[in-house]
Amino acid sequence: TLAILKRHNTEQLRQIERQMIAIEKEIMLLIKNDPDLAGRFDILVSIPGLSAVTAFALLIDMPELGTLDQGQAASLIGLAPVARQSGAWTGRAFIRGGRANVRQALYMPALVAMRFNPDLKAKYDRLKAAGKAPKVAMTAIMRKLIVLANALLRHGRKWEPSLP
């Protein structure tokens, strides 16, 4: 509540914001100077829901994206279900492991894609109608996003909406 503390906090937040802008500009400059990275970046940001920051995270933390099978891409970031089994006993499947940074970077884009990407919105609605929990449906959307990004990068083409 002290004015001096508010002023210091405001100054620190402005400094952090300036640093983030400088880092984003530097990353963008590196991407523009490399034709391969520029092409991959353009493909990733063509997907509704994926922003430049998410594309940065995917390019930096998952450089092999586009060379993997769809199951490998999801498993690499920990979005593939892992079954718990031992002999005749079967437990519930759940997600775990993988690259947490990429998984965390995909959460907000999945929320946006759920609303604005018609294909993924339909998938989410089908899962909810089938009785899946919202978090389970969200995880499925995140998995679809990474599988979609991997497939588009593998084929070197931008996202296009599917025809109804």
Flag whether 117 is in a domain: yes
Beta bridge partners of 82: 94
Provide the domain count of the chain. Answer: 1
Q: Tell me how far apart the alpha carbons of residues 68 and 121 are, in angstroms, rounded to a whole number.
A: 25
Q: What is the band of 13 on the pLDDT scale with cuts at 50, 70, 90?
A: very high
Flag whether 28 is in a domain: no
**Three-state secondary-structure class, residue 49:** coil
Q: In sequence order, which ranges of 34-67 are alpha helices (DSSP H)? A: 35-45, 52-61
pLDDT above 80 (res 161):
no
Flag whether 24 is in a domain: no
Q: Which structural domain, as residue segments, surrounds residue 50?
A: 34-155
The predicted structure's pLDDT at residue 29: 96
Average pLDDT over residues 29-35: 95
Angle at 69 between CA 63 and CA 73, to 5 degrees: 50
Flag whether 85 is in a domain: yes
The predicted structure's pLDDT at residue 80: 73
- Lookup result for tokens 């092999």: 64
Flag whether 17 is in a domain: no
Flag whether 3 is in a domain: no
Average pLDDT over residues 50-55: 92
Flag whether 130 is in a domain: yes
Name the least confident of 19-33, 63-77, 83-97.
Answer: 83-97
Q: What sign has the CA pseudo-torsion 97, 142, 146, 130?
A: positive
Q: What's the token pair of residue 145?
A: 């996003």
Flag whether 18 is in a domain: no
pLDDT above 70 (res 89):
no
The predicted structure's pLDDT at residue 94: 63
